[in-house]
Amino acid sequence: MKRTLYLRPTGLMPAPAGEVGVWGGLPLAGGWLSFTALEIIRRGSSGEASERRILSLGEFTEREWGRDTLPAADMFEALRLPRARVAGVSLARPRIMGIVNLTPDSFSDGGRLTSVDAAVAHALKLVDEGADILDLGAESTRPGSDPVPVDEELRRLLPVLERIRDKADALISVDTRKAEVMRRAADAGADMLNDVSALTHDPAALEAAAESGLPVVLMHALGDPKTMQDDPRYDDVLLDVFDYLEKRVAACRAAGIPHDKLIVDPGIGFGKTIDHNLALMAGLALFHGLGVPVLLGASRKRFIGHITGVASAGERVAGSVGAALAGVAQGAQIVRVHDVRATREALDVWMAAMTGRAEA
Ligand code: HH2
């Protein structure tokens, strides 16, 4: 049945330490925030949100509790439950995924890491700077990019993966859309998979990911990289992306991937205008209603250049840090970034200032 009612947690505030609760609030996904209100979004027959109403949690439960079933009860439940660890790493605090592009043509830093030595050194530097996860990508998916043959992707990826596997004190994620690359990466010791097509590009990917037993990031993209920026349209971008990810979560579970191995990502910049990206950023907390961790990849992307006027992607560090903090302020458990050190410092200060506690 098509979903017509959505709950976006709002009135977000830092979760208190220890057993003390926020009066009138509930913990958001077992993390660092509590939500004290819900935006109730109703989708009309035209496909657009036809009603948006913010109710405090007290109002919501008082009004609705008496009924047999709470509206969107599945989402309400999903918002509160703590998230499972990802490959042993707790998501009770935000995690940084550092980008290692092994491609000659990535939009922001392509061609820099063409030797295995340079890529390994860069990956280890990101860990030193505070990355919890490294995301190795050997196929660019920037707008307009061409696909890479599987042999070439493996040739770029495996030597680096094998060399950092035992050296890097971080999880290793592999950013790929291909089943064969997923299998080989799992054999070579990868800890998680990241597919910008949410396991739809390669018909064998669902099975390969399920067999690997690894956690998987399911990202939303409209169309493929070659054409995705040609006039993308949605009825309501936030609700359409939610529905898509909900369907992909269901497809993964049907294929044997457990719920606690899934992570979702709205796919900033993948078949989206500036307005679409900003609607997703502003509504990001909605995705917690899927009951799995949320990943945000906004680093150095075009909407940041549009807002700041910084044309060169490599110089969009401050804007990217701002975007990462905005994501974490909505409970995103993982931020995928190029500039690990700047993000780590900003995040540590932001968390300490928000919660009144410095992490050891
Ligand atoms: N963005 C890019 C690539 N992979 N994966 C996830 N989960 N989320 C993202 O937002 C995302 C992603 C594009 O950025 P980048 O890796 O810097 O560029 P390129 O694809 O050109 O290598």
pLDDT means per 10 residues, the chain with 360 residues, are 90 80 84 95 90 91 64 89 96 97 71 80 97 96 87 95 93 98 98 98 98 98 82 94 98 98 98 97 98 98 98 97 98 98 98 86
112 catalytic, yes or no? Answer: no
| Whole-number pLDDT of residue 157 | 96
With tokens 């109703």, the residue in question is 42
Q: Which of 142, 248, 261, 336 is catalytic?
A: 336
Q: Is 277 in the pocket of ligand 1 (CB under 6 A)?
A: no
> Which of the residues 301, 302, 316, 344 is marked catalytic?
301
Whether residue 327 has its Cβ less than 6 Å from ligand 1: no
pLDDT of residue 115: 87
Which residue out of 126, 148, 201, 219 has the highest number of ligand 1 atoms within 8 Å of its CB and is therefore the one to mutate?
A: 219
Check if 239 has its Cβ closer than 6 Å to any atom of ligand 1. no
Is 38 buried (19+), middle (13-18) or exposed (0-12) by CB count in 10 A?
A: buried
Among protein residues, the one whose CA lies closest to atom 5 of ligand 1: 196
Atom of ligand 1 nearest to the CA of 107: 21
Tokens 């509930």, residue? 26
The pLDDT of residue 110: 59
Ligand 1 pocket member 108 (CB < 6 A): yes
pLDDT at 306: 97
Q: Ligand 1 mean position to 142 CA, how many Å?
A: 7
Ligand 1 pocket test target in 95, 99, 337 with most atoms within 8 Å of CB: 99
Which pLDDT value is given to residue 224?
Answer: 79
pLDDT tens digits for range 62-102 = 776 555 566 688 899 999 999 999 999 999 999 999 999 99
Q: Is the CB of 297 under 6 A from ligand 1?
A: yes
Ligand 1 mean position, distance from CA 274 (Å) = 16
| pLDDT score, position 72 | 84
Which residues contact residue 42 at a Cβ distance below 8 angstroms, ignoring those fewer than 6 apart?
4, 5, 6, 49, 50, 51, 52
Residue 137 Cβ < 6 Å to ligand 1: yes
Q: What's the gap in Å between 37 CA and the centre of ligand 1?
A: 32
Q: Does residue 301 have an active-site annotation? A: yes
CA distance 297 to 87: 20
Rounded Cα distance, 321 and 33, in Å? 19
Residue nearest to atom 14 of ligand 1 (CA): 142
pTM of structure: 0.95
Question: Beta strand 33-43 with 95-101: parallel, antiparallel or unpaired?
Answer: unpaired
CA atoms within 13 Å, Cβ hemisphere of 112: 15
The pLDDT assigned to 64 comes to: 61
Cβ of residue 293 lying under 6 Å from some atom of ligand 1: no
pLDDT at position 269, please?
Answer: 96
